[in-house]
Structure formats: structure tokens, C-alpha cells
Amino acid sequence: MHARRPATLASLAAELGVSRTTVSNAYNRPDQLSPELRRRVLETARRLGYPGPDPVARSLRTRKAGAVGLLLTENLSYAFRDPAAIGFLEGLALACEGAGQGLHLVPVNPEREDVAAVHSAGVDGFVVYSVPDDDPHLAAVLSRPVPTVVCDQPRVDGVDLVGIDDHAAIAQLAGRLITLGHRNVGVLCMRLARDRNDGFASVARQRTAHFHVQRARLAALADSFAAAGVDWERVPVVERFDHSSAMGESAAAQLLDANPEVTALICTSDILALGALAEAKRRGLRVPHDLTVTGFDGIVEAERVGLTTIRQPVLEKGRAAGKLLLGAADHSRPRHITLDTELVLGTTSAPPRTTEQPWFGP
Amino acid sequence: MHARRPATLASLAAELGVSRTTVSNAYNRPDQLSPELRRRVLETARRLGYPGPDPVARSLRTRKAGAVGLLLTENLSYAFRDPAAIGFLEGLALACEGAGQGLHLVPVNPEREDVAAVHSAGVDGFVVYSVPDDDPHLAAVLSRPVPTVVCDQPRVDGVDLVGIDDHAAIAQLAGRLITLGHRNVGVLCMRLARDRNDGFASVARQRTAHFHVQRARLAALADSFAAAGVDWERVPVVERFDHSSAMGESAAAQLLDANPEVTALICTSDILALGALAEAKRRGLRVPHDLTVTGFDGIVEAERVGLTTIRQPVLEKGRAAGKLLLGAADHSRPRHITLDTELVLGTTSAPPRTTEQPWFGP
DNA sequence: TGTGCTGACCGTAACGGTTCAGAACCAATT
DNA sequence: AATTGGTTCTGAACCGTTACGGTCAGCACA
């Protein structure tokens, strides 16, 4: 009979001659009405094709959406492409499923400033994963009146935070390379700002990088090598906007073309390092004899090839973020969690070649 | 002043002395009011800390949530653990980001019947990925008045569908093994029903499996080998509830312990096959000389070790599902998409050992 | 007989927006 | 002077539900 408009709680109540409250209770508080009436309500619902209380209307009334939003810098699909992101999300998903919360991935485009998607996500809180400091999407999230946890970001006033000590972690790695004798190093890093710059990154650009993680790692490298007598101004740093192994390859090629004297390639991610290894192979450079390559993250693909890298607990990071967001009764003062990292000495690092000098001229 | 209750569109309108409509228009239809007034509205909003129209209230009125829901059989975190699932999700995410839609992962527990999460997901449609035919969560999804696309499922009346021809695909593989001379085969398969059964699966259980994909693959194997004169009743089929490489290992061990005469292990997923390979290695069985192992899916890890398998376009499957759900103006009649598969001949399949008989006596 | 309690149900007021049909005003055309 | 058209803004209805604070009948108990 109610074929046209789909049935609503109100229409069901009218049909039954009871109040809307009662129908609502039939679904949400079975103890508030007699079993007999409840049976009738549910049966009539089936007959009328009423699918149960509308989730959106319920959310509006109860002020709960039952989901946490995830914002990341990249395209949505990147979440399923980068092993580190996947690990992070697995951890976050673990926390969510434990709390019966859904996970709402917010679609953004890193090259656009369209924050509408952030404004239209019906969620109870946000996890923000490694976006640039000045990202308009981050600002949009912070403007929303819901709790937020940021990851791999600098502190934001009044916001919970999960991360690692990027500076200390990579300083440890740098120390190792210095001990081995490397002085001619080159760096491959990820996107430093929201504008696309596939090429060398000046020291100024490094210092003002909008991505906290990259900035911290580069600063630590600069500090470490400067302390070892290396003039950081002369250290080539090549940046890539997109994060993929192919980009690591091309970045390594660009760097080695311009600086053949380099004996160690320090990459700020394992993905880039894997690309660098591929490029080294293509050039006939033996790793680690001719060239040392290091990464960062500790993804399984890196472990498989014995990459020297920093292992960070990506899964645990995601889980910690989720727990912070969900478990937290006390949101009075922001909490900061710093997780441990570990230097993994693989087979891609060794002392520099001891031959006289590079093959190419003066 | 409005410190306690957060500002709403109405309070903003009151503050400005304009109608709610006008404030709404300031956000949604800038051309409907003078630039000057719009500026004032936005500025006052900033001053009052109004974060813009509430997404849930908007969704209620517009009947759009801006997100698609994903339902899968497993725990939420499984989506980030299984390479095939990850590929599927990457494809789905690509379709979503193209349409500016979010992706809402619905948290369910495969061992519980709690469908509340399905009922409380504020989404514009659902993609259902490989759940059992009688899954209550699937029923809950179908009861919701939103478009739905199912993947790797049998046809459901009036619902769009994306999948592959599981029967034909694995029949091709079976044909190959038969040509090679294998007659003593064993099968490792994934969960067949919602109840946990880690062990041998009877033919009856195989036939009544609740998971379409597994059922189709087993049926195809039974057909193929029966046609080659093999008594399928005697073919050992070992099932595992959880899907992991470790389960593949233990399943292979269980099967080989009971049936040492087996010359080929056919696995209904690459993950299980990788486990089987590990178990074979542990036992000192040389693959493919002593034992043939095959998989299904064509994940990169399998490719790396040269597994003989069926490659299916998981990413494309996800993308197709997303496009079907989002692009579709015409929902009048359900559409079915069947994607192509490809037999990948790796280095894990060969003719059976030609020695007389197994080492162990009768 | 009065009192208090419990179970079962109801009325009203939000929740925070969007939408649509006009109203009011002004300038330009007939 | 009347008509037309365009811009800018408004009032009221509506989206579908749940929270809150009741009412009311029936029953046990002193």
C-alpha cells in the first residue's frame, strides 16, 4: 500500500496506531514495551518493507556517526598502494573494529584545495595521517567540532598526537654511515611541500619543508653530517612528488648523474630505496661495494632484500592513533605518544669504495 | 558569547539578522546572495567558530551521504592484510575518488551476527565483497533502500554483480594438471561456511558451501577430475577458516600426513599456496619435482616465487564494482560484469614423480 | 483506603539543515 | 502607467529519528 514513498518510522507508527516512540523503542530498547507489541511492530515493519531506523536521522539525533574519518595527503587509493600506509591502516582498523566503529576514508586530491569532502564526512572523529603543516584539509578537520588525532605531524595545539622521533632515528643511521667512512652522500626524499618539485631541493626548501617528517629527517641528516665535517650545502638532495619505486629510480638516476662521487644514497623511505637499488643495478653498481643504499620504514619488501633501514612500528602507530581517538574519555589535555624505532643493519651498507677517485674527470 | 553550545546555522542567522536560508546559500549557492552579504556571513561564522553546515543534518535533508559502504566477510583489518583484498580495495578506492565519494568500511565480526553496524552506516550504496550466501550482514544490506553491488557472489535478484568465471578459470588449471599426468591430487581451500571447520571437508560440505567462490572452484575441480577418471570422493580437501599463509602451511601438513601419495596440491588461493610451499620446503619436498603446487589470484608475492596460478584482475574488479555503483543512472535492471582471468604457468607445476610408488607401505 | 511502585506507552521538542514558492525591490522595456 | 525581468532575501515545510519528561492502569502492601 505504501508503495511510493518508502516506509518511515512515523508511517509505521500510524499504521499500527501507536506512537513513534514505541516503534523506536521496538528497535532500540526492547525492554520498554511488551514482547507482544514488539512482535507486531517488527512484523508490520516487514510487511511494509520498513528497513529499520534511518541511520542518518539517528546520527543527527544521537550525535554519533559510528565511524572515524581518516584523512591522508594522498589520493584515496594510495592508502592501499603504499605498504607503510597499509600497515598504519591495518592498525587503525584493528582499533576501530575493537570499538565497533567504522572507518571512513575521506577522498581528497593532494593537488586540489577542495575541502568539501572533509566537511561532508559524517564521522565522530578524525585521524590525520602525515599531511603538510599548511594543508587546507587539515585546517578543515580542525575546524570540525570532533576529536582529532594526528600522526607524523608536528604538535598542533590541543590535538592528540602519535609519532616517532624522526630526528633521533635517522641520526642513528647517519652516525652509522659516518662511522663506516661515508662523506660523499646523497639524499632521496619524498615530497617536501604541496607544490610539485621533482628535482634537487635547496637547503632553504629543506628547512621550510611543509611535511614534518621529511623536514625532521633532513634536519637530522644535516646536523649529523655537519658535525662530521661535511658541508651540507654541497650534499645533493633530490625530491620526488609522487611516492613510488619508479620515482626512487628516477631520483637516484638524477642524483648519480650529477654527483657520481656519491658513495651512499640515503633515502627517506624504503620505497624510494627500493627504486634506488633498481637504478644501481641498472648501472652495474654493486651494492654495497660500489654504493651504499639505506631506507626508512622497515616494510617487508625492504626486509626481503636486506635493506639497511630504520624500522618503525607502523601497525602499532595506527592502533595507537585509533585507541587514542576512541578510548579516550579524557580529552581535556592533549596526549602525545612517541613510539620506538630500530636501526636494521642489512646488506646494503658497507664502507665506501677505497679506490682513488671517481672514474669521471676533475 | 556562544561559548557553550557550538554555533549552528540558525544561531548564525539570528546573530546576523538574516534568514537561515540565506546562511545556507552563503555556503551552498554563492550566486544566490550579494557578495557583500556573503562576506559578512562567512566572517561572522569565523568569529563565532561555526564550522559550516553539519554534514549529518545535510545528509538527512539531501538524502546523500557522500560515501559508499564496503561490507566484507572478515574483520575490518583483514582488508589491509590480504593482498587480494587490498587490490580490490585499491580499485574501489580509485572509483570512489574519481567520483568524490568516501569509502566507509563497515566493521563486522565474521563469527557474530551483529548487523547493527550495517544498519548504522550512513552511505549511499554498498559494495559487498565475497560474503557467504546466507550471511545476515548481506541480508541487512539488501534490506537497506540503497543500491548495492556484490562481488564474487552468486546472483542475487535485482542486484548488480561483478565477478569472474571461477568455474572456467580453475577448470583450465585442472586441465593442465591432468595433461601433466596428475591423478593423485589434494585441495586446500578457504572457509566454506560460517561455522568453523579446520580440517577435511566432505563432498557434501563442498557441495553446500556457503561461499560461492569456493563452491564454484571445488565443483569445477570435481567435474574436471571426474571427467579424467578420478574418483572425487577419494580426493582429500582440507579447509581452513582463517585465511593466512600459516593456515596454508598447517593445511598442507594435515593433507600430506594423511595422503602422502598426493602429487599435486591445488590451493584455492595464492596465500594458501604460499603456505603450502613453505610446508613442502620444511618437509624436504622439492617443488615441482616431488610436489606440484598451484594457487589462485595472481598476487605479486606469488608471481615473485613463480607460482602456477590463475591471475584475476582484482584491482579491475574493485574499480568495476565502484563504477557500477556510482556511475549508474539506470538501476532498472541489474547488470552483471564478468572479468577475464588468465592461467599463469609458473615453476611450481610439473609432471608427477615417475618413481614407482610412495615410500610408505600399504 | 491510601500509598508507592512498576510496566507500558505517549506527546512534544529538538537535532541542524535544505528547498521551494514567493515577496520586495529596482531597472528597463513597452 | 503598466509590464517584464532579474536579483536578493524570506517563511514555512520537511528530512526521519530519539531524548526527555511525562501519564495511566494495575497491583502489592500496610
- Based on the domain organization, do B95 and B184 belong to the same domain? no
- Residue A277 counted as domain residue: yes
Contact A79/B at CB under 8 A: yes
* A59 closest CB neighbour out of B77, B91, B122: B122
In this complex, the answer to whether residue A143 has its CB under 7 A from any atom of chain C, a nucleic strand, is no
Residue B113 contacts residue A104 (beta carbons within 8 Å): no
- Based on the domain organization, do A293 and A172 belong to the same domain? yes
- Residue A203 counted as domain residue: yes
User: What does the pLDDT look like over B220-267, one tens digit per residue?
Assistant: 999 999 999 999 999 999 999 999 999 999 999 999 999 999 999 999
Predicted confidence at residue A332, as pLDDT, reads: 62
- Based on the domain organization, do A333 and A195 belong to the same domain? no
- Based on the domain organization, do B307 and B318 belong to the same domain? no
- Based on the domain organization, do B305 and B182 belong to the same domain? yes
- Residue B300 counted as domain residue: yes
User: What does the pLDDT look like over B80-110, one tens digit per residue?
Assistant: 999 999 999 999 999 999 999 999 999 998 8
- Based on the domain organization, do B151 and B188 belong to the same domain? no
User: What does the pLDDT look like over A106-161, one tens digit per residue?
Assistant: 999 888 889 999 999 999 999 999 899 889 999 999 999 999 999 998 888 889 99
- Residue A53 counted as domain residue: no
- Residue A77 counted as domain residue: yes
Distances (CA, A) of B90 to A45, A76, A319: 38, 8, 21
Q: How far is CA B240 from the centre of its chain?
A: 17
- Based on the domain organization, do B174 and B300 belong to the same domain? yes
Q: Nearest-5° angle of CA B193, CA B198, CA B200?
A: 90
Tell the burial category of A335 from Cβ atoms under 10 Å away from its Cβ (0-12, 13-18, 19+): middle
The total of structural domains in chain A comes to: 2
3-state DSSP assignment of residue A150: strand
Q: Give the CATH number, domain containing residue B186.
A: 3.40.50.2300
- Residue A353 counted as domain residue: no
Contact A305/B at CB under 8 A: no
Residues of A in contact with B144 (CB under 8 A): 51
- Based on the domain organization, do A197 and A278 belong to the same domain? yes
Residues 19-48 of B with CB within 7 A of strand C: 20-21, 24-25, 27-28
Ranges in chain B, pLDDT < 70: 1-5, 328-332, 354-362
Tell me whether residues A94 and B77 touch, CB distance under 8 A: yes
Q: Give the H or E element holding residue B304.
A: helix B300-304
Q: Give the H or E element holding residue A237.
A: strand A237-240
Bridge partners for A199 per DSSP: A239
Which residue stretches of chain A are H helix? 9-16, 20-28, 35-48, 55-62, 83-98, 116-119, 136-143, 166-180, 203-207, 212-227, 245-258, 270-282, 300-304, 314-327
- Based on the domain organization, do A229 and A102 belong to the same domain? no
* Structural domain of A299: 166-313
In this complex, the answer to whether residue A64 has its CB under 7 A from any atom of chain D, a nucleic strand, is no
- Based on the domain organization, do B299 and B331 belong to the same domain? no
- Residue A108 counted as domain residue: yes
B273 half-sphere exposure, CB direction, 13 A CA radius: 32
- Based on the domain organization, do A180 and A303 belong to the same domain? yes
| Whole-angstrom distance, CA of residue B157 vs CA of residue B235 | 34
Residues 21-80 of A with CB within 7 A of strand C: 21-22, 25, 31-34, 37, 57, 60-61, 63
Tens-level pLDDT at each residue, chain A (362 residues): 334 567 999 999 999 999 999 999 999 999 999 999 999 999 999 999 999 999 999 999 999 999 999 999 889 999 999 999 999 999 999 999 999 999 999 999 888 889 999 999 999 999 999 899 889 999 999 999 999 999 998 888 889 999 999 999 999 999 999 999 999 999 999 999 999 999 999 999 999 999 999 999 999 999 999 999 999 999 999 999 999 999 999 999 999 999 999 999 999 999 999 999 999 999 999 999 999 999 999 999 999 999 999 999 999 999 999 999 998 656 667 789 999 999 999 999 999 987 544 444 33
Residue A353 Cα, gap to closest chain B Cα (Å): 32
Dihedral class, residue B181 (left if φ above 0, else alpha if ψ from -120 to 50, else beta): left
- Based on the domain organization, do B299 and B329 belong to the same domain? no
Q: What single-letter DSSP state applies at residue B284? A: T
CA of B61 to C1' of C19 (A): 9
- Residue B244 counted as domain residue: yes
Give the residue from A59, A74, A126 with the most B CB atoms within 10 Å of its CB, the best one to mutate.
A59
